[in-house]
């Protein structure tokens, strides 16, 4: 039913020779049109054409540095304050997970732990690793690295969940001074972490993983 | 093993050759894989089928079932559901001392704004209210002329906007956030789910369907075809 993978151009060429770049073709970043690079403008939408994203690794590392810098206040400072009968208590992201565990809500504790602790950490480590792979291709097989990149791209936005939880709690729990919830500074810095890791993933060019492949002895 | 693989390959090729004979009028074109830059020749797809890169298995092209009318119908439905989820209280919340609190979606943002966290309010407002609205309106503006078979000059600008916005709309994440905070509160007080909450859940589901039915590669191609008509 599905007609797919119609074979590549030629059979006896090395991997790099089969790429669009080797043929002078570029894919437009804004309308996905594959075309000869010509004068550097897309025939279909007029955007500037380039073989690879400009300064991809530099930009990725810059956003990554921003994310790491924001990650520290996001974990050290409180994400929200609970005011109960005049007594204020604060909780950090990890503190919130621990409290949930103590209250035996294991399901939610796991969701929050995965979304706000595990995923951002894993994402930053993976992006740093991918930049290294682009530089030193012997570190990993391109298929593995691509899979890591795809997972990072899809999963990234779900980290926002903790910020939304704080937003909803602040709005809902305002009961005439008896109980109140106030947002803490970590909420905003955590949103910053999510944004910068998303931007880092977007500026990374996954084609760089495949570029340095004169790997004739694959399989 | 190698013999078996050759046999399998020949067998698959024979099926493929038959299908090309049946549909000899099909065009084929070159598509560069977005993920690994392999240049692949893809023949025109049937509705509802996908083409994948032979090297990295990334999706090259997907031709959705129902063409333009499916995302159009979904996005109109999503916009309606979004209006509904703003019109009624989201949920009500009863505290121990008899106070009752009812909130709507916009109320949520306003409350954050009142608590000196303007930036946070702006973030939530943007990700959950402004961007989805903008996305849906732009999508409808793109798809209505396409459904009529017209080539609209604003298509390139709007299509660029739509595909740039897609990863930043976090309606589904917000829904999960609400569910988590509901279970957190339920230990403190009684929470009742409002009509808007249900419509918001449906809105989030419909929205995800719109996003997945808008394939960039296919949509631009379809628009280009209209032009040459």
> B50-52 and A179-183: which strand pairing?
unpaired
Predicted confidence band of residue B97 (pLDDT cuts 50, 70, 90): low
Block residue for tokens 């500026």: A203
Structure tokens at B153: 């000059």
Instruction: Give the largest Cα separation in chain B, rounded.
Output: 79
- Domain A56-211: give its CATH code: 1.20.140
pLDDT 10s digits, A38-59: 888 888 888 888 888 888 999 9
CA dihedral B111, B112, B116, B119 (to 10 degrees): -150
Q: Read out DSSP for A118-153?
A: IHHHHHHHHHHHHHHHHH-GGGS-HHHHHHHHHHHH
> A87-91 and B28-32: which strand pairing?
unpaired
Cross-chain Cβ contact A143/B56 below 8 Å = yes
Of B85, B53, B47, B82, nearest to B68 by C-alpha is B47
Q: How far apart are CA A172 and CA A166, in angstroms?
A: 10
Q: What pLDDT score was predicted for residue B115? A: 76
Contact (CB, 8 A) for A98 and A105: no
Q: What percent of chain B has pLDDT over 90?
A: 28
* Residue A77 C-alpha, separation from nearest chain B C-alpha, in angstroms: 15
* Residue A167 C-alpha, separation from nearest chain B C-alpha, in angstroms: 7
Q: Is the pLDDT of residue A3 over 60?
A: no
Q: Which residue of A has its CA nearest to B91?
A: A172
Q: Percentages helix, strand, coil for chain B, rounded to the nearest 5?
A: 60, 15, 25
Contact (CB, 8 A) for B184 and A181: no
Domain chopping of chain A, boundaries: 16-51, 56-211
Q: Is the pLDDT of residue A60 over 60?
A: yes
Of B113, B78, B106, nearest to B211 by C-alpha is B78
Q: Is the pLDDT of residue B188 over 80?
A: no
Q: How far apart are CA A153 and CA A158, in angstroms?
A: 10
Predicted confidence band of residue A71 (pLDDT cuts 50, 70, 90): very high
* Residue A215 C-alpha, separation from nearest chain B C-alpha, in angstroms: 13
Task: Pick B130 or B47 by higher pLDDT.
Answer: B130
Q: What pLDDT score was predicted for residue B3? A: 52
Q: How far is residue A78 CA from its own chain's centroid?
A: 24
Instruction: Give backbone dihedrals phi and psi of A56, rounded to 5 degrees, phi first.
Output: -55, -50
Q: What pLDDT score was predicted for residue A88? A: 85
Q: Which residue of A has its CA nearest to B100?
A: A175
Q: What percent of chain A has pLDDT over 90?
A: 32
Q: What pLDDT score was predicted for residue B107? A: 77
Name the B residues in 142-181 with CB < 8 Å from any A CB: 156, 159-160, 163, 167-168, 170, 173-174, 176-178, 180-181
* Partners of A27 in beta bridges: A34
Q: Which residues contact B200 (CB under 8 A, 6 or more apart)?
A: B81, B85, B90, B105, B175, B178
Contact (CB, 8 A) for B107 and A171: yes
- Residue-wise over B195-220: b if at least 16 C-beta within 10 A, else e? ebbebbbbbbebbbbbbebbbbbbbb
Q: What percent of chain B has pLDDT over 70?
A: 84
Predicted confidence band of residue B229 (pLDDT cuts 50, 70, 90): low
Contact (CB, 8 A) for A63 and A203: yes
Q: Which residues contact A107 (CB under 8 A, 6 or more apart)?
A: none
Predicted confidence band of residue A215 (pLDDT cuts 50, 70, 90): very low
């Amino acid at each position: 039913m599905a007609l797919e993978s119609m074979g590549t151009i030629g059979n006896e060429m090395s991997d790099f020779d089969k790429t669009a770049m080797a043929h002078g073709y570029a894919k437009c970043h804004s309308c996905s049109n594959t075309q000869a690079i010509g004068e550097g403008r897309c025939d279909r939408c007029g955007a500037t054409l380039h073989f690879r994203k400009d300064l991809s690794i530099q930009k990725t590392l810059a956003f990554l540095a921003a994310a790491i810098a924001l990650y520290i206040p996001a974990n050290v400072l409180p994400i929200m304050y609970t005011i109960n009968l005049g007594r204020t208590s604060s909780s950090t992201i990890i503190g919130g997970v621990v409290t949930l565990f103590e209250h035996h809500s294991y399901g939610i504790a796991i969701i929050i732990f995965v979304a706000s602790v595990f995923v951002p950490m894993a994402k930053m480590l993976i992006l740093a690793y991918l930049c290294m792979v682009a530089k030193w291709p012997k570190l990993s097989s391109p298929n593995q690295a691509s899979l890591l990149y795809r997972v990072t791209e899809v999963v990234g936005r779900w980290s926002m969940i903790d910020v939304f939880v704080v937003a909803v709690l602040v709005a809902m729990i305002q009961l005439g001074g008896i109980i109140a919830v106030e947002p803490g500074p970590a909420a905003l810095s955590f949103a910053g972490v999510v944004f910068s890791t998303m931007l880092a993933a977007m500026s990374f060019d996954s084609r760089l993983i495949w570029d340095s492949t004169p790997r004739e002895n694959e399989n | 093993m190698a013999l078996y693989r050759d046999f399998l390959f020949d067998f698959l090729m024979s099926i493929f050759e038959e299908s090309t004979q049946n549909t000899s009028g099909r065009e084929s074109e070159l598509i560069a894989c977005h993920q690994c830059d392999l240049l692949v020749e893809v023949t025109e797809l049937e509705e509802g089928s996908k083409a994948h890169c032979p090297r990295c298995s990334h999706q090259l092209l997907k031709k959705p079932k129902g063409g333009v009318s499916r995302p159009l119908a979904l996005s109109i439905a999503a916009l309606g559901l979004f209006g509904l989820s703003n019109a009624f209280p989201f949920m009500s919340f009863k505290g121990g001392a008899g106070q009752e609190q009812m909130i709507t979606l916009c109320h949520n943002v306003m409350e954050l704004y009142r608590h000196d966290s303007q930036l946070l309010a702006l973030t939530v407002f943007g990700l959950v209210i402004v961007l989805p609205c903008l996305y849906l309106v732009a999508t409808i503006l793109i798809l209505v002329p396409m459904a009529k078979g017209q080539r609209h000059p604003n298509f390139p600008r709007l299509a660029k906007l739509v595909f740039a916005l897609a990863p930043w709309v976090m309606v589904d994440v917000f829904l999960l956030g609400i569910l988590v905070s509901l279970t957190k509160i339920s230990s403190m007080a009684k929470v009742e789910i409002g009509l808007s909450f249900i419509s918001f859940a449906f809105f989030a589901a419909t929205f995800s369907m719109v996003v997945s039915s808008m394939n960039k590669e296919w949509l631009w191609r379809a628009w280009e075809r209209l032009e040459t008509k």
